[in-house]
């Protein structure tokens, strides 16, 4: 009814390969961007911005990073948390050395360090495959976690062993540290996430994305048609780690305001992997859905459980939360193993042909 392609002609090649071929899709995207940049900043309160929206965007970015590696290239990685950590610590060191440089530039530049580390730990991926590789990436996770604790240079020899975000100004406006308002930080994070999502979308829809997907579907066949496996896999590792690194830097600098090494432990890696799987492997939209579901679900449970009238002990709530999250993961996998992105697609397809069943 509202959403259909009748009357929208594709008259040249560019419109045929467009990422959003339908006018309604483009309008929808514009509306979402409008809500993100204008409506939410005007309406959302501080709690909403600080505790829901900023982390949601950060995790969505990390999920996109992991999705590039796991969803598009088919390499399961359990080292996401560590790569995020590399980004965060790199950003911290960079801003220590160059305090006057724009912090947003540094946050993105710190992704480069993460990319280099990621590519290094991606080297075994040529020989090791499947779950063996997943466990091998745990080597990265544990080694880097250990470094975050044992190399005091990384946190400037702080006694606490934690990194604390200094105040940094961009054009006279505080964007990090205690004086920055949640609104400023939200807008910065949103801009970076939108920009990087756009880049990722172009990457996965282009030649590089095709190469990644060919490797995912069958790497031997991909090699036979002339795709060089090592550069392709390493590129996937590098790009993925770049995204995770930037997400880690954003997490510390624009959300937590300070972090210990425990933030980047193996549970963080699993957490991001949940988002990718529940959201949908090989889908950028899915990364956002997954981040929303996995991150916002526990918050919703916490907020809702008093509302239902169950006077539960906080620890009981936490335990129930664990159980519910676990059960929901299994439930979602059974109902739709291809993730929320697939449900979204099915919904759109149904709308397209409505009122006919197909």
Partner 1 sequence: MDLLYKIFIDPFMQMGQAPDLLVQTLWEGLVSGVLYALIALGFVLIFKASGVFNFAQGIMVVFAALTLVGLYALLRRWGVAPGDLAAYLALLLTIGVMFVLAVAVERLVLRPLVNQPDIILFMATFGLTYLLIGLGQLVFGGESKVMIAEDLHLPSGSIEVKMLGGFVNFQKIDIAAAVIASVMVAGLAVFFQSTRIGRALRAVADSHRAALSVGISLEQIWIVVWFAAGIVALATGIMWGARSEVSFALEIIALKALPVLILGGFTSIPGAIVGGLIIGIGEKLGEFYWGPLLGSGIESWLAYVIALLFLLYRPQGLFGERIIERI
Residue numbers at the binding site for partner 1 (CB under 8 A)? 70, 76, 124, 127-132, 135-136, 138-139, 142-143, 145-146, 149-150, 218, 220-221, 224, 266, 270, 273-274, 277, 281, 315-316, 319-330, 333-334, 337
Least distance in Å: CB of 131 to partner 1? 5
Least distance in Å: CB of 223 to partner 1? 10
Nearer to partner 1 among residue 50 and residue 137 (C-beta)? 137
- CA 171/CA 187 separation, integer angstroms: 15
Q: Residue 123's Cα: distance from chain center in Å?
A: 23
Least distance in Å: CB of 324 to partner 1? 8
Nearer to partner 1 among residue 111 and residue 282 (C-beta)? 282
- CA 246/CA 109 separation, integer angstroms: 8
Least distance in Å: CB of 142 to partner 1? 4
Least distance in Å: CB of 67 to partner 1? 13
Nearer to partner 1 among residue 53 and residue 66 (C-beta)? 66
Residue 173 and residue 34 in contact, taking contact as beta carbons nearer than 8 Å: no
Least distance in Å: CB of 127 to partner 1? 5
Spell 315-353 as b/e; 16+ CB within 10 A means b.
eebeeebeeeeeeeeeebeeeeebbbbbbbbeeeeeeee
Nearer to partner 1 among residue 172 and residue 314 (C-beta)? 314
- CA 260/CA 250 separation, integer angstroms: 15
Least distance in Å: CB of 162 to partner 1? 17
Which residues on adjacent β-strands are paired with residue 55? none
Nearer to partner 1 among residue 69 and residue 188 (C-beta)? 69
Rg (alpha carbons) of the chain, rounded to whole number: 21
Nearer to partner 1 among residue 28 and residue 124 (C-beta)? 124
Nearer to partner 1 among residue 143 and residue 354 (C-beta)? 143
Least distance in Å: CB of 146 to partner 1? 5
DSSP per-residue codes, 62-109: HHHHHIIIIIIS----S-HHHHHHHHHHHHHHHHHH-TTS-HHHHHHH
Least distance in Å: CB of 153 to partner 1? 13
Measure the CA angle with vertex 345, ends 340 and 346; round to 5°. Answer: 95
Nearer to partner 1 among residue 88 and residue 273 (C-beta)? 273
Cβ neighbour number for residue 314 with a 10 Å cutoff: 9
Least distance in Å: CB of 158 to partner 1? 17
Collapsing DSSP to helix, strand or coil, 175 comes out as strand
- CA 178/CA 257 separation, integer angstroms: 8
Nearer to partner 1 among residue 130 and residue 306 (C-beta)? 130
Nearer to partner 1 among residue 116 and residue 138 (C-beta)? 138
**Residue 122 buriedness (CB in 10 A; 0-12 / 13-18 / 19+):** buried
- CA 56/CA 53 separation, integer angstroms: 5
Closest by Cα among 287, 27, 60, 90 to 189: 60
Taking the alpha carbons of 181, 184, 185, 186 in that order, is the dihedral positive or negative? Answer: positive
């Amino acid at each position: 009814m509202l959403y259909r392609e009748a009357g929208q002609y594709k008259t040249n090649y560019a419109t045929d390969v467009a990422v959003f071929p339908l006018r309604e899709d483009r309008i929808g995207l514009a509306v979402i961007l409008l809500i993100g940049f204008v409506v939410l900043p005007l309406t959302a309160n501080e709690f909403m911005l600080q505790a829901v929206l900023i982390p949601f965007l950060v995790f969505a970015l990390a999920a996109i990073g992991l999705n590039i590696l796991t969803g598009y290239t088919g390499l399961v990685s359990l080292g996401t948390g560590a790569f995020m950590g590399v980004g965060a610590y790199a950003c911290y060191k960079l801003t220590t050395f160059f305090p006057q440089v724009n912090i947003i530039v540094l946050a993105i530049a710190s992704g480069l360090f993460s990319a280099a580390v990621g590519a290094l730990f991606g080297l075994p991926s040529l020989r090791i495959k499947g779950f063996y590789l997943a466990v091998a990436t745990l080597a990265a996770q544990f080694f880097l976690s250990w470094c975050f604790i044992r190399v005091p240079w990384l946190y400037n020899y702080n006694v606490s062993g934690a990194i604390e975000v200094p105040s940094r100004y961009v054009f006279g406006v505080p964007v990090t540290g205690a004086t920055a308002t949640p609104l400023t930080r939200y807008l910065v994070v949103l801009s970076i996430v939108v920009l990087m999502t756009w880049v990722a979308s172009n990457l996965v829809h282009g030649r590089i994305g095709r190469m990644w997907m060919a490797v995912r579907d069958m790497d031997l066949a991909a090699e036979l048609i002339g795709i060089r496996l090592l550069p392709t896999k390493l590129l996937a590792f590098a790009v993925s780690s770049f995204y995770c690194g930037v997400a880690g830097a954003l997490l510390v600098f624009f959300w937590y305001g300070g972090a210990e090494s425990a933030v980047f432990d193996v549970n963080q890696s699993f957490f991001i992997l949940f988002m990718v799987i529940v959201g949908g492997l090989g889908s950028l939209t899915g990364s956002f859905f997954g981040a929303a579901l996995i991150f916002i679900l526990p918050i919703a449970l916490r907020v809702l459980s008093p509302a239902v009238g169950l006077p539960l002990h906080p620890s009981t709530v936490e335990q129930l939360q664990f159980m519910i999250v676990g059960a929901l993961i299994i439930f979602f996998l059974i109902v739709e193993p291809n993730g929320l992105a697939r449900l979204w697609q099915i919904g759109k397809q149904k709308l397209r042909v409505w009122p006919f069943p197909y």
